[in-house]
Amino acid sequence: MKASALQGLLPGYSEAELDQLLAATRTRRFAAGTWLWREGERASSCFLIATGAVEVVRYLDGEERVLATLRPGTLLGQTALVDDALRSASVRAVSATTTLEIRRKAFQRLVQQGSPVALHFQQRMAVAGIRQLRAATDRLALVLAHAVQPSGKRAGALDRLALVLIQAGTGEWDMPLGPGTRPAKKRLS
């Protein structure tokens, strides 16, 4: 892949930064139906979708639930660059998809070198994380609004999908800032 092909996906990056990013990544191609990763796998890289589309999938009681469809320009799995956590969902190519994969070690080298592309990438990761947190907050508010009647009485037990969405959203809020600290796993019942 050439830097010029990325300019539309990564506005604001100079051609030199895009060349440096390309040098730190590898191009990965996935056929439709191919899993990029599965929930529960150890995360060590993130992906920038260059072409095609992917679905974010979770399984609930053996039933597949598609949580989102992501398109070119989307950065996914970016927490893997800074956290050694397990994947929180599975990701599958919907169509023939080309991605750029950046591994944690390659990203850490860029950061240690003080690379401007690493700073740009960190900013993009922060913005993506904030947007995901806002979306999770909106979903949580929607679920809670439907879970309680105007009289304040519960409208019934939240369905299992709602619980999965709440767990996914609230898990993103618990982010201790100290070195080597990890959020505690929360389980809603």
| Whole-angstrom distance, CA of residue 37 vs CA of residue 97 | 14
| Each residue's pLDDT tens digit, 15-53 | 888 888 889 999 999 999 999 999 999 999 999 999 999
The structural domains of the chain, with segments of one domain joined by +, span 3-114
d(CA 20, CA 63): 42
The domain 3-114 is placed in CATH, from the list 3.40.50.300, 3.20.20.70, 2.60.120.10, 3.30.300.130, at 2.60.120.10
pTM exceeding 0.85: no
Model confidence band, residue 121 (pLDDT cutoffs 50, 70, 90): confident
